[in-house]
Amino acid sequence: MSHPRTATRLVAVAAAALTAVAVSLPAAQAAPRASTLRHEAPRDLEIGTAVWGQRDLLDYDRKNPTEFQRILAAEFSSITPENDMKWAEIHPEPDVYDFSGADAVVAFAKANNMEVRGHTLLWHSQNPEWVTQAAATWTCDEARAVLEDHIRTVVGRYAGEIYEWDVANEIFQDDWDAGGVRLRTEANPFLAACADDPVALIGDAFRWAHEADPQAVLFLNDYNAEGINTKTNAYYALAQELLADGVPLGGMGSQGHLSLQYGFDDTIQENFERFAALGLKVAVTEADVRMPLGEDGEPTAEQIALQAERYDAMLEACLNVAACTSFTVWGFDDERSWVPFVFPEGYATIMTGDFEKKPAYDALLETLTNATPGISPRTPPGLNR
């Protein structure tokens, strides 16, 4: 901080003062703190990313982090284990649990004052072979026993260390031929075994998770669940049914996996508001915006600009609803993105493979910087922010 000086003193010691300033200011003044997503976010909003603990965090040395680890800690206040808490990784055999990747995520979060979103407890995909094989002959009671043991074991291990859990993930199947959606009572091995009353099993999954960790907020989570559509209408009805039955459902997660090949649903905020009116938290849980690329593998300037707009629109919808607790991108650099392995598209994240920040990152940072500190802004009904 500078101090006032009198004119007489300035004349008397001009040369000495100039020399002193030149020498002392760089040492006396701290470098300005760089703006990051984490630093600029309102205090009631977690800014998260998905990470593979086994791949990226097992070698963590706090005194000598990798560039990826340094950026992860600087930019984000929340981590979701992209794969390390899924059944195939964490419960590979009937009596075997492998917590190494999940433990690495939790340890990194603790070391860097970050939160952890648990992902996921009941899902139709990435189940180990022992589950998919046994499921063909399970009775509902047998499926329930396996699922209950898994949920109590995994959630209980991290009780008090995970602030949000994706309990039931992608439990509705898009059924385009029938013009709607339906519960996955075929692909999901647990719902298939209890197909006579799958909602009861879903409700009990939430009850078991809550008993294992009463502090965690428990979410439904799905893709194509951003705006108001057939799928979110089904989730809205399910949420009402679960809540009426006393199920400790705490939130609705919209993944936010978008593609520039399709239009953008501008009813995200309205959708969030109706779930919030039920007393639920809402969140953008897995945001990325992929695109088809040309023969050179590069996006056009128009695609880059549109990607930034769509990332920002999802964040704006979240900020405009006080019940939105977290905004999570599904990986932050293209080198680690799941998209090219699943879709004939790419360039989906907010940084390139060598961590160059894209306009999408800049758009998120600007919006977070302009958001009200401490409490997310709310937009009056019918007005756009």
Catalytic residues: 170, 286
Cβ pair 92, 105 in contact under 8 A = no
3-state SS, residue 30: coil
Cβ pair 60, 111 in contact under 8 A = yes
User: If you search the block for the tokens 């009463």, which residue do you land on?
Assistant: 214
User: Please, what is the Cα angle at 381 between 377 and 382, to 5 degrees?
Assistant: 115
Give dist(CA 51, CA 68) in Å, integer.
Answer: 10
Residue 179 in tokens: 């013009």
Cβ pair 144, 195 in contact under 8 A = no
The residues with which 257 forms a beta bridge, in sequence order, are 288
Cβ pair 109, 51 in contact under 8 A = no
Residue 340 in tokens: 């090219």
Give dist(CA 98, CA 92) in Å, integer.
Answer: 7
Cβ pair 205, 188 in contact under 8 A = no
